[in-house]
Structure 1
Amino acid sequence: MVAIKPDIASEMKRAMSAGQFNQAAKIGARILRLHPKRTDIEIMTAVSELQAGSLANAGRRLKRLFHALPVKDRFFAPVAQNFRQYAYQSNDFAALETAIRKRLGTEPGNGILAYMLADAIFQDELSKSPGVCVAPRLAEAIDALGLIPAQSAQYDDAQLLLARIHFHQEQHAQAFDVLEKFVARYPDNLAVQMMLATSYAAANEASKAVSTCLAIISANPLYSAQPYLIISFMRPKSMPDGAVGYLDAMLDKQDLANAERYKAAFARGRIEEAKGNMKQAFDFYKRGHAANRAERPFDIVHERKELARLRDMAGETPVWDPAVAAEEDGPQAIFVVGMPRSGTTLTERILGAHPDVYAAGEVGDFAKAVIDVVGVGPISEQLAGIDRKAAARIRKQYLDALKAYAPEKRFVTNKTPANFMRIEMIRRVFPDAPIIHTHRHPLATCLSIYTTPFSVPMRYSDDLGELAEYYRGYVALMKASFEADDRGQMYDLSYEDLVSDPEAVARDYLAHCGLDWHPGCLEFYRSDKAAATASMIQVRRPINQD
């Protein structure tokens, strides 16, 4: 009879199952003193340390294992996965990247390590800027993925990561090319078809987006709510028969992921809104917001305090040295700020139709430059850290980014709405840059925010009371910013005025930016440039007051 060996990790496993991760980590450390070669125990200990918040201990342990284990070892994959998780939790992608580069130095051409390097670079860039930005390091990531041969086991994963990088950078043609080839190889892969449909939608390729969504629905009508959501906003008359029943079936599922519930509810709301059933539509939007709040909690008290801190900091003296401007070349900055759905896209599109202006859209380069120079943290803390030296570095990095977008233009615009929270930051670094603040009737703004399914939902909009409170905080911050605007840097632009008398208003704010009038500015809708915004359908049409 074979004796059954006792499980030396049983006590540790019980502690982990009970959520007692501090205790589990201590047990693991004790076991490892007696059994130092038990890699499985070491991994479990690192996982427990991650869960317990002992990030430094987990990082040291995972880094050691990452360097010690052969790539083909059965434990290498979980070590790499948890090392990546450590980087997420600690925001220390540099440590992960350094470790991967060290391994690649001795194992050049290793597909697993090349993929990991590209992913680490991409995740590091995402941690600094969730939006598109000038990121030369992403070119290295793309090159690393391109070296992985088609016969490699990592090839498919590498191609999908490549598509995500192109999508993030709004390189739509490149994303299409990668994803279309992938779908041709794997026509039954609905997840990749969904990525392709989303890419088409982001580029405003409505026909391709809708046809791909319809193909997904035909293959599996309950696969995802995303195809219905895309159709409901891009071409609602193409909604297939039975869509309501399928979406309701999804919403009835108790185990439906909150992100899917959010999309399904908004698709249903949009369908009812198109029928004129506003009460039913609003009920569905409310259900969607409830799902998002369950997934992504929000602290309105914390946000209100941050807005108040920024309000108190408005009007401080710029720290940038204007003498530096004489040495600068290339395009200068224009900022368009305001609440979402307040007219920032229309305002920028009119500017972008001017021959001297490049409309960059909602780019993250300014926020990224600030993070690179003063670090991550609340905007008020970042602002407090911007002295003359920091301002010069931020300014140079941002102007270099603008030069990369359009070196031949006089101006490059940035229309990230949330930069209204960075107005004081902008004034410290760019006291010479025009800032156009767009606003719209509060009810129109808040209703539009509430009923729009943003790709990254606005957490403050999940509760109508908190949305109103956030809006009041925004209004107070803007009031303080304008009161402190002694140099006339800011321009207050009413969306209602713009659509009522577009030429007069556009002439005025172009003049504020130092631009002569150009008749083509009101024909912005003829441009082929995609607008990565919820307003992408509207900006393809002439100005109207809808």
Structure 2
Amino acid sequence: MARAQAQEILRVVPDHPQALLIQGLAASRLSDGPAALKALERAVAVAPNYPPAWLALADQRRLAGDAAGADLAYDRHIQASARDPELVAAATALVDQQLAVAERLLRDILKRRPTDVAAIRMLAEVAARLGRYEDAEMLLGRCLELAPGFTAARHNLAAVLHRHNKPMEALAEVDRLLAADPGSASYQLLKAAILGRVGEYQGAIALYEAVLAGYPTQPKIWMSYGHALKTVGRQAEAVAAYRRCVALQPAFGEAWWSLANLKTVQFSDEDLGIMRREAGRGDLEAEDRLHLEYALGKALEDRAEDEAAFGHYAAGAAIRREQLRYDRDDNTRHMRRSKALFTPGFFAERAGTGAPAADPIFVIGLPRSGSTLIEQILSSHSQVEGTQELPDIISIARRLGRAEGRESAYPEVLAELSPKALRELGEEYLARAAVHRKLGRAFFIDKMPNNFAHLGLICLILPNAKIVDARRHPLGCCFSGFKQHFAQGQGFTYNLTDIGRYYADYVELMAHFDAVLPGRVHRVIYEQMVADPEAETRRLLDHCGLPFEEGCLRFYENDRAVRTASSEQVRQPIFRDAADHWRRFEPWLDPLKASLGPVLDHYPEAPAYPA
């Protein structure tokens, strides 16, 4: 009835904002996302100071997976709602992404009105956008202390806690929101994302299914659903979900790449035609374009059209590299500073410190080095649980680096920590990892590859943890990383020179720890594991203090959830021809060879480095 009345009004007054709002809300309830967005976008265009339309548009954009657009619309809602000229000015600065200006204005307001919850929430938004999650969490907590019913602030708090790797705290907040509004798709989607973070994939899948029942035309929800299905090994259903994405939105590059990233899907001529057509559009967003380039690269690689495939991989990587601030020299400086700090005497002076638990097994190295295979072998042992790439060591390192307000304080700040502080950091890591341990097994795996850069920290705070270095031929590892688009992080992989330098720095740092702490790290050479899996598996288990079990050789029968790019490959027996696959692309790898330098000639050993 309301929709019909709105349509009658719009026939007479085509730009009636209230009627457009009603039309948009009605379309949303009928799961017609595109029509809802169209009506709401039109409503705010004709009435830019109409708060309900901005709020509805924020909700609809969030439902469609457009987080940045939703934040912008919510900022405009605040701006339109505020009657205080100072809050309007701060909200305008937020809308314009002038975060320093917004922060200054809001702090000035709060000096005079310290209980202004609107200003506190806006300041928390500034902090979150700057990555200062501790500040955002504190501000939102204060906001809710003053106004417990401020649901927008609670929603913000749940999102901040999720981003800041505090999933259980985030779940508590989102459950409070759902208790008051159990039908909110926005709250359900946030909870599904949090559940996925802690390995509760069945719960996440159920929530995605519930939301899709009401909103079946939202491609980004179908993609998130596909990711969850892929992780638990329901590949056919994951493919169907991704296919649903591209049927709804043919230019949705990330959905095409998600299909390609399964490594088992063969694209048809029709698929290739659609991807090429969409990639050729002049109005395509950069995110869609780069994902389509990667998907086209995989499609053509599967057809043995290697030169064309490499061209698409390089085009996608160039787009992503342009968006990043990665500086290869920063990584080299960190490696050299670590070598200078972590001497035999440094560790000898701190012997016996840290948390004594031997539960963690760290699998480190570079992405695409065979680390997921090692994890799958180990997690097929009755005493070992595979978790995921845990962010906790990196999070602790970043916090230590900011301890004195100086980004460069780490790793040198480790020299100032007392034995008590080192033990507490180890216990903190174990407590944060506990949420991912579901099976009650004695040992668990953390396979965050980038943890190699924090090996000194690991050895200090968890002296009895086992460490396994996964290493693959530099050209195979680096090219495999170069042609892989990662969901987040790994900024060094989008340029052949960058990734070669990164690999060389990694080898030099690991050689340093081999000299300083002999035997502390067990190295698995991927090609040797492929050539003789039983012998290498026995060596691996011996290092971890585990008895041999036949199940470790049948790792592909393990139905555990796997989130990485190798998720489908490790559900199959080892294929020996994969180790040399990079040779097909060798004609285009000269920049990589040059940046690797002597590391390439000495593999699998490390060059001799000056002390």
Report the TM-score, using the length of structure 1 for normalisation: 0.81
CA contact (8 A) 1:49 1:57 kept: no
Partner in structure 2 of residue 338 of structure 1? 365
- Aligned counterpart for 1:513 among listed residues 536, 541, 544: 544
Q: CA deviation at 1:473?
A: 1.4
1:15-48 per-position Cα deviation (integer Å, ceiling 9, x unaligned): xxxxxxxxxxxxxxxxxxxxx9524553257549
Residue 191 of structure 2 corresponds to 162
1:529 matched residue in structure 2 = 560
Q: Name the structure 1 match of 2:604.
A: none
* Structure 1 residues 278 and 540, CA gap change in structure 2 (3 angstroms): same
Farther off after superposition, 391-400 or 89-98: 89-98
Cα-to-partner distance string for 1:335-361 (whole Å, 9 max, x where unaligned): 111111111111122111111111223
How far is the alpha carbon of 1:209 from its aligned partner? 1.4
Change (3 A) 1:367 1:216: closer
Deviation at 1:67, TM superposition (A): 6.7
Q: Tell me the residue number matched to 2:127.
A: 87
Where does residue 42 of structure 1 map in the other structure? 89
CA contact 2:365–2:471 (8 Å) conserved in 1? yes
Which secondary structure state, in structure 2, belongs to the residue aligned with residue 492 of structure 1?
A: strand
Q: Which residue of 2 aligns with 1:298?
A: 326
Q: Please say if residues 67 and 103 of structure 1, whose CA atoms lie closer than 8 Å, have aligned partners that are also in contact.
A: no
For the pair 1:53 / 2:100, whether they are aligned, the reply is yes
Shift of 1:382: 5.3
Task: Write the mapping of 1:358-507 to structure 2, written as runs, cut at 5 A.
Answer: 358-371=385-398, 375=402, 377=407, 379-381=410-412, 383-404=414-435, 405=437, 408-456=440-488, 458-486=490-518, 488-507=519-538
Distance 1:262 1:349 in 2: 30
Q: Distance in 2 between matches of 1:381 and 1:143?
A: 41
Amino acid at match of 1:476: E
2:352 aligned to which of 322, 325, 342: 322
SS at match of 1:336: strand
In 1, are the aligned partners of 2:353 and 2:461 still within 8 Å (CA)?
A: no
Deviation (angstroms), 1:283: 0.1
CA distance in 2, matches of 1:430, 1:332: 9
Letter in 1 for 2:215: Y
Q: For 1:219, which of 248, 273, 284 is the aligned residue?
A: 248
Conserved 8 A contact 2:371-2:447: yes
The answer (yes or no) to whether the contact 1:285–1:451 under 8 Å persists in 2 is yes
CA contact (8 A) 2:362 2:465 kept: yes
1:366 CA displacement: 2.7
Is the Cα contact below 8 Å between 1:338 and 1:437 reproduced in 2? yes
Q: Which amino acid aligns with 2:361?
A: I
Secondary structure of 1:322's aligned partner: coil
State which of 113, 133, 138 in structure 1 corresponds to 2:153: 113
The gaps in structure 1 that reach 5 residues or longer are 1-35, 71-75, 126-133
Residue by residue, what CA displacement relative to the aligned partner does 1:144-174 show, whole Å, maximum 9, x if unpaired?
33323146xxx22212222222233332112
Deviates more, 1:235-244 or 1:532-541: 235-244
Aligned-residue offset at 1:320:
5.1
Query: Residues 414, 385 of structure 1: CA spacing in aligned structure 2 closer, same or farther, 3 A cutoff?
Result: farther
Question: Which AA in structure 2 matches 1:165?
Answer: I
Identify the residue that residue 375 of structure 2 maps to in structure 1.
348
The letter for the 1-side match of 2:98 is Q
Distance in 2 of aligned mates of 1:237 and 1:89: 37
Q: After the TM superposition, which of the residue ranges 422-431 and 115-124 deviates more from structure 2?
A: 115-124
- How far did 1:270 drift? 0.6
Question: d(CA) in 2 for partners of 1:264 and 1:513?
Answer: 42
Cα distance between partner residues in 2 of 1:238 and 1:145: 42
**Structure 1 stretch displaced more, 165-174 or 286-295:** 165-174
| TM-score (normalizing by structure 2) | 0.73
- State the alpha-carbon separation in 1 of the partners of residues 353 and 212 from structure 2: 55
Seen in structure 2, the aligned counterparts of structure 1 residues 37 and 272 have a Cα distance that, compared at 3 Å, is closer
Alpha-carbon distance in structure 2 between the residues aligned to 1:66 and 1:121: 26
Q: Deviations over 1:203-235 (max 9, x none)?
A: 33211111122223223323x012222222337
- 1:43-96 CA distances to partner (integer Å, 9 max, x unpaired)? 2575499727367624514757997668xxxxx5xx677434411344433443
- In the other structure, the counterpart of 1:4 is none
SS in 2 for 1:147: helix
1:531–1:150 CA distance, 2 compared to 1 (3 A): closer
Q: Is the 8 A contact 1:66 1:80 kept in 2?
A: no
TM-aligned CA deviation for residue 453 of structure 1: 2.0
Q: Secondary structure at the match of 2:476?
A: helix
Q: For residues 395 and 424 of structure 1, what CA distance do their matches in structure 2 show? A: 13
Provide the C-alpha distance between the structure 1 equivalents of 2:216 and 2:438, rounded to a whole number of angstroms.
38
Moved more, 115-124 or 400-409: 400-409
The one-letter code sitting in structure 2 at the alignment partner of 1:350 is I
Q: Which stretch of structure 1 is more off in the superposition, 80-89 or 430-439?
A: 80-89
Q: Distance in 2 between matches of 1:339 and 1:288?
A: 20
CA distance in structure 1 between the partners assigned to 2:140 and 2:529 by the alignment: 52
CA 1:322–1:314: 2 relative to 1, 3 Å: closer
Higher mean displacement: 179-188 or 104-113? 104-113
State whether residues 163 and 179 of structure 1, in contact with CA within 8 Å, keep that contact through their aligned partners in structure 2.
yes
Post-superposition CA distance 1:249-269 (Å, at most 9, x none) = 333334433222221100000
Q: Distance in 2 between matches of 1:45 and 1:168?
A: 34
Cα distance change on mapping 1:63 and 1:145 into 2, 3 Å: farther
Query: One-letter code of the match for 2:323?
Result: E
Instruction: Report the equivalent of 1:206.
Output: 235
CA RMSD of aligned residues (A): 3.0
Say if 1:243 and 1:384 are closer, same or farther in 2 by CA, change over 3 A.
Answer: farther
Q: Give the conservation status (yes or no) of the 8 Å contact 2:161–2:167.
A: no
Counterparts in 2 of 1:371 and 1:63: CA distance versus 1, 3 Å: farther
Aligned residues of 1:262 and 1:288 also touching (Cα < 8 A): yes
Quickly say closer, same or farther: Cα 1:259–1:320, change in 2 above 3 A.
farther
Paired residue secondary structure (1:302): helix
Q: Give me the identity figure in percent.
A: 25
Q: Distance in 2 between matches of 1:284 and 1:315?
A: 45
Alignment-mate amino acid for residue 388 of structure 2: G
Counterpart CA distance in 2 for 1:65 and 1:176 is: 47
